[in-house]
Chains A and B, each alone.
Chain A
């Protein structure tokens, strides 16, 4: 079990806002570099890729919150909404960069791409699925939807898988970077069916030694 110094409760809300601020920095910095002509080669593509990559990172981070709590006992649940929303913002910016900067609002070309090119279809599907999740990310929706909220937000698994697949299918050769994200998403998704039996055994293991320990000590 890892023990981090607990963040005092009065800083909780500030730390969440800090995460939003930090999380949007890569997009802001990338935009600044691109707008001032400091991105090399193909600035639009560089910016598009930067946004897509950070979207994928935030999706992975969102899905990592639960396993980190299960395995290490660190509760970062208060950051999960921010991470999920950051993922949504990045996917949206990624799409806007593609639509406005790359295709320059050529709607016919965009629709053809979405319809005919599987990796763009998959990416677009991920964006569409993220919209209801973003819209229901507020406390009111959580209260209002009850258990249906949990069911709905399992879409995050599909979205992360779609994101990793979209990234892998967009390149000429699937390399280490694509494999990293495919692997991360696979492990994080595989954790979901495993976690309940794991937590049960962990609880049993935590309870059992309480009775045994004194006996062992006496024996020793």
Chain B
């Protein structure tokens, strides 16, 4: 292991000082530009944001792997399907409806969402299939959006829903439907309010490509990747635990919490280790031990104090 790792940011990527100083104005202008650039093609556009405080000091997974190898069953069940089959998806215009047990239910257009305080964070991502990545996401804390809608005292959970567009999402049409749509996910309100919980609008310094959940998706880095619901159209605050798609599909294999836990195996495979994508290739050992809460135990373990994590997997 090298004792010192030089900065990985090349000078051309550093935001010019005048833009950085006027970043609020720049962001507003950038948001407008993104909408124009993204409206027809759904292609990712540049999206710069200041570095946030959560930055994992590990090598980034190459962008080609982050955008070319993932699960998004709305576009097919293969790892390359999302990138291959999401070309017709239109992430703009976009509205996210926030309702349920809130004082100020409202709909947010994408342009409103991009005005939240976005920043770049580098998170570990651990898939329930025992592979992992390190990804630079751009986004804002879900808590800032929740503050805006003023949750009622009775709200205990937050539920999320993905868009249903069979005409643009081949996995939602045809003979074989791998999951019931819409894809749903949920968090306890305290999990949703946790500073690590991010609504991401970009990755690798660009707006989200379609295959990664454009235009807005959830990131909970201490949970398995399937909790990171993509292309969100609805966020509802509820009193009871909301349904989540994989839990509905196979309750003995996927729980509501889905916290990364090397001590609790998936019934069909071990969760003790993981394969880091894009590391040493074919022969280098990419296997590494999986960390409790995916390495975020210091931040989130207290959320589950006194809970049996074996029962609440």
Chain A interface residues toward B at CB < 8 A:
34-35, 37, 39-45, 47, 101-104, 106, 109, 112-113, 116-119, 169-173, 175-176
Residue B147 at the A interface, CB < 8 A? Answer: no
Residue B292 at the A interface, CB < 8 A? Answer: no
Residue B176 at the A interface, CB < 8 A? Answer: yes
Contact at B79–A47, with CB atoms within 8 Å?
no
Nearest Cβ distance between residue A77 and chain B, in whole angstroms? 36
Residue B275 at the A interface, CB < 8 A? Answer: yes
Interface size class of B (residues with CB under 8 A): 20 to 34
Given contacts A106-B287, A173-B77, contact A37 B282 (CB under 8 A): yes
- A109, A116, A118, A170: the one contacting B273 at CB < 8 Å is A109
Stretch at the interface among B2-10, B202-210, B231-239, B264-272: B264-272
Contact at A173–B179, with CB atoms within 8 Å?
yes
Given contacts A42-B277, A109-B272, A113-B270, contact A173 B283 (CB under 8 A): no
Closest to A119 in B: B268
Per-residue A-contact encoding for B258-286, CB less than 8 Å = 1, 0 else: 00000001001110110101100111011
18 other A-B residue contacts (CB within 8 Å) besides A34-B282, A40-B65, A40-B68 = A34-B281, A35-B282, A40-B69, A40-B79, A41-B80, A42-B79, A42-B131, A43-B281, A47-B282, A101-B282, A102-B287, A104-B287, A106-B287, A109-B270, A117-B268, A118-B268, A169-B268, A171-B77
Nearest Cβ distance between residue B123 and chain A, in whole angstroms? 19
Chain B interface residues toward A at CB < 8 A:
64-65, 68-69, 73, 77, 79-80, 129, 131, 175-176, 178-179, 249-250, 265, 268-270, 272-273, 275, 277-278, 281-283, 285-287
Within the assembled complex, what's the spacing in Å between the Cα atoms of A176 and B175?
9
Within the assembled complex, what's the spacing in Å between the Cα atoms of A101 and B175?
36
Task: Determine chain A's interface SS by DSSP, over half rule.
Answer: helix
Closest to A176 in B: B176
**14 A–B pairs (Cβ distance < 8 Å), ordered by A:** A34-B282, A40-B68, A40-B80, A47-B282, A103-B287, A104-B285, A109-B270, A116-B265, A117-B268, A117-B269, A117-B270, A173-B73, A173-B179, A175-B178
Q: Report B-chain residues with C-beta under 8 Å of the C-beta of A112.
A: 270
Q: Report A-chain residues with C-beta under 8 Å of the C-beta of B131.
A: 42, 45
Contact at A44–B282, with CB atoms within 8 Å?
yes
Q: Report B-chain residues with C-beta under 8 Å of the C-beta of A171.
A: 77
Closest to B249 in A: A173
Contact at B176–A175, with CB atoms within 8 Å?
yes
Within the assembled complex, what's the spacing in Å between the Cα atoms of A173 and B270?
18
Contact at B129–A172, with CB atoms within 8 Å?
yes
- A41, A117, A169: the one contacting B65 at CB < 8 Å is A41
Within the assembled complex, what's the spacing in Å between the Cα atoms of A47 and B282?
9
Q: Report B-chain residues with C-beta under 8 Å of the C-beta of A39.
A: 282
Closest to B128 in A: A172
Contact at A44–B286, with CB atoms within 8 Å?
yes
Closest to B65 in A: A41
Contact at A102–B77, with CB atoms within 8 Å?
no
Q: Report B-chain residues with C-beta under 8 Å of the C-beta of A47.
A: 282
Q: Report A-chain residues with C-beta under 8 Å of the C-beta of B179.
A: 173
